[in-house]
Amino acid sequence: MVDIPEHLLLRSAEARAKALGISVEQALAEMKGETEPTVVAKDPEVKVIDETPAPAAETPAPAAETPAPAASKTDTPEEVDFAPEVKVTQRLLTVVKAKPIQKPVAEPVDKVNTWPHLMLPEFVSLMAMTAFLILLSAILQAPLLEEANPNVTPNPAKAPWYFLGLQELLSYWDPQIAGVMIPLVLGVVLWMAFPYIDRNPETHPSKRKFAIMFYTFFLAGAGVLTIIGVLFRGPGWNWTYPWIDGIWFDDLLDWIHFE
Amino acid sequence: MQKLSLRDKIKEARISAADSFRGGKLMSSIFRPGSPFRKGYVDSPRNRSYVVMNNVLYHLHPVKVKRHGVRLSYTLCLGGLSFFLFIVLTITGIWLMFYFRPTELAYVDIQNLQTSIAFGSLVRNMHRWGAHLMVLVVFLHMSRVFYHGAYKAPREFNWVIGVILLLLTLLLSFTGYLLPWDQLAIWAVTVGGNMAGYTPVIGAQAKFGLFAGLEATTATLLRFYVLHVLFLPFIIVIFMAVHFWRVRKDGGISGPL
Ligand code: HEM
């Protein structure tokens, strides 16, 4: 047998002594098998766990030819000897209804193995993206204009395309509004807070029409402003038509003069 | 017994050599149990779990994912591709750093890179188009998340992290824009930096801090360079780690709708 460390033995002896109301030495001796174990005389308390009230009265079987005598209903039923050859030593205390002790929080969901069902599609899209990027880079040359010169301002001077929508707004409104308040307050703060503002728990598109409409308008607006900034603005930020005046967007230099 | 032809003998020897290599000490020290690169891998549910669980991949992926989540049409793999583009940009970016000095020489360095260094032009193009593509893909990922309502409880905070990631992506792209030190670079950054100057109250200070002076100079170049190659990538990696971790802790991909 495995040797139980002394301090653990002592601790369980203390617990046993406390439970049975005997001394620690005796409990220790009992545990080591040196004396007879103390027997608790007290009957164990039996608690009825069934919460549902018992049916008020047994409905008598509607058998017409044997009318049940009224007296037998109130009497305790006679003990039936189910198996006369065996002495029945246990009795049924209660029937606990089968219901889970813990409530499952999450419903079981249909799952598949990550390998290969997720990792293969991931690998394929990663390869496709690499191929696309290498092809693009082999065909289209990134722009490199003349060396930076702080004394020569190009006309027009355009921001990178993802800021061109803002630059376009800047040409309508005060810079404090278009250049700072809109990107900072609307773009960052409100956008971060969005999940806390939209308290509608539904995710199905038909039940969140306003949110869908809102974002679609935002996308369309940003798209239109960006396209105007990229294609329709020329020197002095004046309106130009790309098919008449050409495109004033150096990022696309190689695309425009693509042969 | 049938006599083996020479060709069969060679084939048998080749298989047994491959087996003893794959089952050998070296390979089993590299690949953990359950790896398809080990000897005796068979395609079983248990081994499919091991491929992820006994692997560094377990840091990124759970063993099992929701069935609808692996449909390409649900996420369009946009988050994964954002991350992958970031990795491509890191690799090509480190390569570019070997040939680039963030000083008055920056422009010449880029010219030389394009004309006299093997694959210089290709790698520069990949870095630049990849950066534009990443901005686009991150934006599309955000739109996908929005249309699925995937920012709703319990994923609110991952959306907040996402907006920070978008911001960092834009900042990375913007700081990189200055580095070739050509007319396109300096004036695009001047337009952006002047916008910062309109910030209420601290406008002048914000602009001065961004430009490291009153206008875009080589001091600005150095500042943007350090932000671009060190500070911002460092920060974005931390936020990405939290982002991916939250995707798993919030119960995997949202939905199905
Ligand atoms: C560098 C940029 C980003 C990277 C690398 C990234 C990566 C990922 C990945 C890999 C996922 C797993 C699901 C999927 O592929 O769609 C994901 C989910 C998610 N992302 Fe991003 N993300 C980025 C930016 C953003 C942005 C800008 C937002 C929103 C403002 C955002 C919000 C979310 C949310 C809410 C989820 C959970 C979606 C769901 O459970 O369906 N992420 N992200």
- The domain ranges of chain A are 6-94, 155-259
Nearest chain A residue to B254 by CA distance is: A203
Q: pLDDT tens digits, residue range B215-233? A: 899 999 999 999 999 999 9
For the ranges A90-99, A210-219, B160-169, the lowest mean pLDDT is seen at A90-99
- Gap between the Cα atoms of B136 and B42, Å rounded: 41
Q: pLDDT tens digits, residue range A129-143? A: 999 999 999 999 999
Nearest chain A residue to B131 by CA distance is: A133
Q: A99: pLDDT confidence band, cut at 50, 70 and 90? A: confident
Q: pLDDT tens digits, residue range B57-69? A: 888 888 888 888 8
Report whether pLDDT(A56) > 60. Answer: no
Range A176-184, long-range pairs (CB < 8 A, 24+ positions): A176/B198, A176/B200, A179/B195, A179/B198, A180/B195, A180/B196, A180/B198, A180/B199, A180/B200, A180/B203, A184/B199
């009265």: which residue's tokens?
A57
Q: A58: pLDDT confidence band, cut at 50, 70 and 90? A: low
Distance from CA of A147 to the nearest CA of B (A): 4
User: Ligand 1 within 6 A of B254 CB?
Assistant: yes
For the ranges A22-36, B140-154, B224-238, the lowest mean pLDDT is seen at A22-36
In the predicted model, what is the mean pLDDT of chain A?
A: 81
Interchain CB distance below 8 Å, A146 and B182:
yes
Could you tell which of B157, B160, B243 is best to mutate to test the pocket of ligand 1, judged by most ligand atoms within 8 Å of the CB? B243
Report whether pLDDT(A23) > 90. Answer: no
Contacts of B88 in chain A (CB under 8 A): 130, 133
Interchain CB distance below 8 Å, A129 and B85:
yes
Q: pLDDT tens digits, residue range A192-208? A: 999 999 999 999 999 99
Report whether pLDDT(A4) > 70. Answer: yes
Q: pLDDT tens digits, residue range B194-217? A: 888 888 888 889 899 999 998 899
pLDDT of residue A104: 67
User: Ligand 1 within 6 A of B96 CB?
Assistant: no
Which among A122, A144, A157 is the nearest to B114, CB-wise? A144
Report whether pLDDT(B257) > 80. Answer: no
Interchain CB distance below 8 Å, B126 and A170:
no
pLDDT of residue A86: 60
Ligand 1: centre distance to CA B99 (Å): 34
Using a CB–CB cutoff of 8 Å, tell me whether A162 touches chain B.
Answer: yes
Phi-psi region of A103 (alpha: psi -120 to 50; beta: other; left: phi over 0): beta
In the predicted model, what is the mean pLDDT of chain B?
A: 91
For the ranges A79-93, A113-127, B21-35, B74-88, the lowest mean pLDDT is seen at A79-93
